[in-house]
Amino acid sequence: MIYLDHAATTPVPREVADAMYAVLTEQYGNPSSQYPLGADMKKQVEGWRKTVAGALGCQPEQLFFTSCGTEGDNWAVTAACWQNRHLGRHIVTTAVEHSAVLEACKWMGQQGYEVTYLAPDGNGNITAEQVLAAVRPDTALVSVMFVNNETGNVYPIADIARGLAAKNPKTLLHTDAVQGFLKVPFTARTLGADFITISGHKIGGPKGVGGLYIGPRVRNPRPLLAGGGQEKGLRSGTEATAQIAGFARAVELRMDGLDDKLTHMAHMKAYAKEKLAAIPDLRFIGDGTAPHILAVSLVGWPSQNIVNDLGSQGICISAGSACHQGKPSHVVAALKLPKKAAGGVIRLSFGPETTEADIDACAEALKKHHDTRMPML
Query: What's the pLDDT tens digit per position in 86-117?
Result: 999 999 999 999 999 999 999 999 999 999 99
Any idea which residues carry the catalytic annotation?
Answer: 323
Rounded Cα gap, residues 230 and 65, in angstroms: 10
Q: Based on the structure, what is the number of domains in the chain?
A: 2
**From the DSSP assignment, how many helices (H) and strands (E) are in the chain?**
13, 12
pTM of the full structure: 0.96
Asked if residue 121 and residue 44 are part of one domain, the reply reads yes
Domain that holds residue 317: 258-372
* Cβ pair 320, 183 in contact under 8 A: no
Rounded Cα gap, residues 368 and 358, in angstroms: 16
Asked if residue 209 and residue 196 are part of one domain, the reply reads yes
Question: Which helix (DSSP H) or strand (DSSP E) does residue 53 occupy?
Answer: helix 36-56
Q: What is the pLDDT of residues 32-60, one digit of tens each?
A: 999 999 999 999 999 999 999 999 999 99
Domain boundary among 202, 222, 255: 255
Residue 6 inside a domain? The answer is: no
Asked if residue 114 and residue 205 are part of one domain, the reply reads yes
Give the β-pairing of 139-143 and 90-94. parallel
Judge whether residue 328 has pLDDT over 80.
no
Residue 318 inside a domain? The answer is: yes
For the chain, give the mean pLDDT: 96
CATH number of the domain that 288 lies in?
A: 3.90.1150.10
DSSP 91-155: EEEETTS-HHHHHHHHHHHHTT-EEEEEPP-TT----HHHHHHH--TTEEEEE--SB-TTT-PBP
Q: What are phi and psi of 325, to 5 degrees?
A: 55, 35
